[in-house]
Structure 1
Amino acid sequence: MHSKVDGLIRRAGLRYPNADLRRIDLLDERGLNRQTLTQLGTCSFVTRQQNVVFQGFTGSGKSYLGCAIAKRACEHRIRAHYVRMPDLEEAWVAAQDAPGGAGKFLRKYAAFTLLVIDEWLLDKPTESMRTMLLELMERRYGETSTVFCTQYQQKDWHQRLGAGVHADAIMDRIIHNTTWVDTGTYNMREQTALATA
């Protein structure tokens, strides 16, 4: 039984494979809502094809939370995958050089029941990347769930997505059925470094 879960976790490519929602530190200092995290941990949002955004400052634990959610999904036998946006862009650029590569790429990333995109909008996407994101979000909309980990508040997304029709369309497919979690300004990396110093 466990080998199936272990396999799902291994293939999910988590940045923090040991991330655990039950071991999130300093909830109060960080302003994190325990009830929201517990609710997300049930993975019922995946069943409802809803999205989650973890938004907060650098070091506030967004990537850890994204990995913890993906790991919980794997424990629920849900096929999850973690990817950093710069790596997603690199994979997209490479895919376009292969015959049928673009379609294959989109099918692959559309198929994950839960996709965690970390460092969302850290770099402004190119036009080609925006076209791909629109197609990917269109395919995932109402079928699957996506978790976005980002430093940027919703009001900044449109500008970072190029502020045109692609930006409107991408946001339209993300923001309406989404749980927004503010991870705050508390720097967990700094805290961890101090604790181990």
Structure 2
Amino acid sequence: MPHQDSAPAPAGTASAPDSRIDARTRRGRLQMLLLLLVCASPVIASYLTFYVFKPAGGATNYGALIDPQRPMPAVRVANERAEAVPLESFRGKWLLVTADPSACDEACAKKLFTIRQIRAGQGQDRERIVPVWLITDQGAVDERLSAAYNEPYAGVRFLRIPPDVARQWLPAAEGGRIEDTIFLVDPLGNLMMRFPKDPDPKKMSGDLKKLLRVSRIG
């Protein structure tokens, strides 16, 4: 009997090998999407706690939520050893951020005290928090401030940043200044929350405790 070639696949119909490749590609994309969701879920949960799941009668948060989110700027900052490092290298932790010039006045020192104490008050979770002073000029910092608040003992990072970059990233409250404010940045590098001028440390700590409880990232 003469040999007969297999009939070609109808136009527009994928062959069996192509179908298997397409199926593997779709499965691989789905697995990647699921992996990304798993990695991001702790931070998603923390946002849901504040944005969605609110009891009847009002919001659950003390700080003002930043909407839309503001990602960290792609900028290099000078650390305590005058080394230029990417600001993004501080991702992975919850950041309590203040911004002031090097001539830190009484209000500035009070904010440094507040963010240091809030970190210390989180108990075993304190290592998940990094207080940051963004210094917006090149002046010398009083050695007493370094001794009281800076690394390695007190845990506050002193980082120098261009003032225009700080103001573009950190939104002041209406009618206020960024120097009046303490900000909270999530472990993905997104600016999440702004606290009022002369904030209540207990209420700030309450917001942070809630976030640390629902999110294990950082």
**Could you tell me the TM-score, scaled by structure 1's length?**
0.29
Larger-gyration structure (1/2): 2
Structure having the higher strand fraction is 2
Q: Which has the higher contact order (CA 8 A, sep 6+)?
A: 1
Higher helix share: 1
Scaled by the length of structure 2, the TM-score of the pair is: 0.27
